Amino acid sequence: MRIIGGRGDPMRKRAMSITEAKRIVSSYVGKPVTIFVNRGRKRILKYEGEITELYPAVFTLKIVGDKTLEMLSCSYSDVICGDIRIQPQSP
């Protein structure tokens, strides 16, 4: 019998702490990034911009190239649960 969810389970995603999420986000401050936001029911929005400010519970993204949206605020908990993915833009 095999116990699922144990330490060596390949199906389990590695847990991330809030400090690790803050460290990841802070490494992208001032750099051009692409952010993918999962809104549920297969709706994934893509924004390009730059992370401008870091706060204790959220960070802000200045959107480039979108006429309807200038700024987006995201929480670190969304990064932890995978609702927000941050990807650096290639030069």
Average pLDDT over the chain reads: 86
Are 50 and 30 spatial neighbours (Cβ–Cβ below 8 Å)?
yes
| 76 burial level (CB within 10 Å; 0-12, 13-18, 19+) | buried
Dihedral, CA of residue 50, residue 55, residue 58 and residue 60, to nearest 10: -20
Tokens of 7: 């330490």
7-44 confidence digits (pLDDT tens)? 555 556 677 889 999 999 999 999 999 999 998 888 99
- Residue 64: count of CB within 10 angstroms of its CB: 12
